[in-house]
Amino acid sequence: MDTKTIVILVIVVAVIVVALVMLASARRRRQAEQREELRTRFGPEFDRAVEEQGSERKAQSKLAGVAKTRDKLEIRQLDAAERDRYETDWMSVQAAFVDAPDAAVRDADRLVGAVMRDRGYPVDDFDTKADMVAADHPTIAQNYRAAHAIRRRTDEGTGHNTDDLRQAFVHYRALFAELLADDTAGRHGGMTATDEEVDLSQRDRTTPEPPQR
């Protein structure tokens, strides 16, 4: 092999090595960017996914899939009449909590699912609903799961008390308010996610007072 051929081979190998290094660097950069995007979007859900999946790489893969699924959905805003109807339904459920907390928690769960369905979220199973909540409302997704766990124990007749049910109801209420809100929520006269916690303990109340804004 002559000198010229050797030089050409060395140059080719060097170019390949540089290209591989650049590709690896670009891949790491994309992964880092994706990690930051997922952390920003999912907030506390990112750490929860890492703990659940056992590694950051697996958590990224799962949450990237969740985000992709959510972003393909056509989520619509509720119109004013729909929001008013749902708020009326919620206040009826809230009023029933005092005398029948178990049933009220189940109805609260049902209302959350109904709003999600009307807005275009998939509601075939709880895990899918929780993932979609995590994609759009990550700060209350964990509370939604906690509320669902209490409701499930209620259905099974084990491991719950009135305080648990009250907390579950408050969790459902926070998510319900988020789902009802739209881009003009600040001007809408209904519930908001930042309302003070409603008092569910007064038995002399015939109709519930609206949340204080």
Q: Compute the distance between CA of residue 74 and CA of residue 79 in angstroms, rounded to an integer.
A: 15
What pLDDT is recorded for position 2?
A: 74
Q: What is the mean pLDDT of residues 199-204?
A: 48
Stretch among 21-30, 66-75, 198-207 having the lowest mean pLDDT: 198-207
Angle at 31 between CA 25 and CA 36, to 5 degrees: 125
Reported as a single tens digit per residue, the pLDDT across 44-53 is 999 999 999 9
Q: Which two tokens stand for residue 5?
A: 């051929």
Q: Which of 116, 102, 87, 109 shows the shortest CA–CA distance to 166? A: 102
Span 73-118, pLDDT tens digits: 999 999 999 999 999 999 999 999 999 999 999 999 999 999 999 9
Whole-prediction pTM value? 0.72
Between 185 and 58, the higher pLDDT residue: 58
In sign, the C-alpha dihedral spanning 8, 13, 19, 25 is: negative
